[in-house]
Amino acid sequence: MTTVVTGANGHVGANLIRALLARGRTVRALLHVNRRAVESLNVDMVRGDVCDLPSLCEAFKDAEVVYHLAAHISLSMDEWPLCESINVIGTRNVVEACLYCGVRRLVHFSSIHAFEQEPLDIPIDESRPLVELQHSPPYDRSKAAGEKEVRKGIERGLDAIIINPTAIIGPHDYGPSYLGEALLNLAHGKLPALVAGGFDWVDVRDVVEGAVRAEEQAPTGAKYLLSGHWASVPDLAALVEAITGAPAPRLVLPVWLAHIGIPFIAVFAQLTGKRPLYTSASIRALCSNQNVNHERATQYLGYHPRPLRETVVDTFRWFKENGCLDRPVMPQSTQRL
């Protein structure tokens, strides 16, 4: 059977396609800009754009399964039009193309950010309401709205399921992603300070395995939160130090002080031509709910995320092998997370 992957050149796409090929699947990769992550693989590569419905109908022709990964990931509070066009209208187009082409199953990748984070003292699970507030970060709102587009498709007869991963890290990060870039900045001593927050970090390979199992086993309309392990930013930096030998920044800013510094970080990013990792949206995320419950995925999919240290070691090994890291990787570290 033919399986189509949108966003094939992204971090999750690069890992998902490799997992599908290992299962003997015939894969069609929908590519928009470049093909670096998949150019060495035995896949059918087609050009397309989620904002262009005819290109999707052409790409989905004769497909049995579609994994919808393509999205605009934003840490900005000023990118609603772009997030809406790709993450909401683009998802609507994917749903329409699946219905038009008779796709058997759609696997839609949403995000932990689609959920309301409060109340913070109650664990997040799949029953948590979606983001509605207009002052929420555009990315969060757009992922919640994208889920609603999928639900509308299900009401029209589409067989679809939804996956909500937390903060994804791991190998085959060709971009690199925002989080991969943050890990490299830590390993290269390019982060002068840390923020006293944290997040739930999950291995991209665990997310992919959970998603494929859901595609194969889950009933129509099912939704699974695929989380890993919560760790603070200072703890993650200490883990990077133990693995790469790069000294972790000793300055840890409280959240209120980090917010004050955001305008200066933005100016520095403009001067250096690099995207800022500390923004209002990212700092807000670092203060989100610390308890993410993946019990449903464990019960129904046999989902068990690997230790965080294993993920970070494998990520740096991959960066090292691909010329992105100039330090040795020391997996013998006894640090446990």
Domain positions in the chain are: 2-174+200-228+293-300
Q: How confident is the model at residue 257 (pLDDT cuts 50, 70, 90)?
A: confident
Tens digit of each residue's pLDDT (9 = 90 or more) over 90-112? 999 999 999 999 999 999 999 99
What per-residue confidence (pLDDT) applies to 255?
Answer: 79
| Phi, psi of 171, rounded to the nearest 5 degrees | -70, 175
Residue 63: exposure state from Cβ atoms within 10 A (0-12, 13-18, ≥19): buried
Strand partners, 168: 202
Tens digit of each residue's pLDDT (9 = 90 or more) over 49-88? 999 999 999 999 999 999 999 999 999 898 999 999 999 9
CA 49/CA 6 separation, integer angstroms? 9
Determine how β-strand 229-232 pairs with β-strand 198-203. Answer: antiparallel
253 neighbors 193 (Cβ within 8 angstroms):
yes
Distances (CA, A) of 271 to 78, 261, 266: 19, 16, 9
Mean pLDDT, residues 268-291: 76
What per-residue confidence (pLDDT) applies to 114?
Answer: 98
Return the percentage of the chain with pLDDT > 90, whole number.
80
More confident site: 312 or 191: 312
CA 263/CA 184 separation, integer angstroms? 23
Number of neighbouring beta carbons within 10 Å of residue 46: 16
Mean pLDDT, residues 285-310: 96
Tens digit of each residue's pLDDT (9 = 90 or more) over 145-176? 999 999 999 999 999 999 999 999 999 999 99
- In whole numbers, what is the pLDDT of the chain averaged over residues? 92
Q: What top-level class would CATH report for the domain 2-174+200-228+293-300?
A: alpha beta
Determine how β-strand 105-109 pairs with β-strand 65-68. Answer: parallel
Q: Residue 267 pLDDT > 80, yes or no?
A: no
Determine how β-strand 105-109 pairs with β-strand 160-165. Answer: parallel
91 neighbors 6 (Cβ within 8 angstroms):
no
What per-residue confidence (pLDDT) applies to 284?
Answer: 85
Q: Which amino acid is at 76?
A: S
Quick one: tokens of 71? 């999205």
Mean pLDDT, residues 18-46: 94
DSSP string, 65-97: EEEE--------SS-HHHHIIIIIIHHHHHHHH
| Phi, psi of 131, rounded to the nearest 5 degrees | -60, 135
Q: How confident is the model at residue 32 (pLDDT cuts 50, 70, 90)?
A: confident
Sign of the dihedral defined by the CA atoms of residues 37, 41, 47, 50, in that order: negative
Letter string b/e over residues 293-325, b meaning 16 or more CB atoms within 10 A of that residue's CB: bbebbeeebebebeebbebbbbbbebbbeeebb
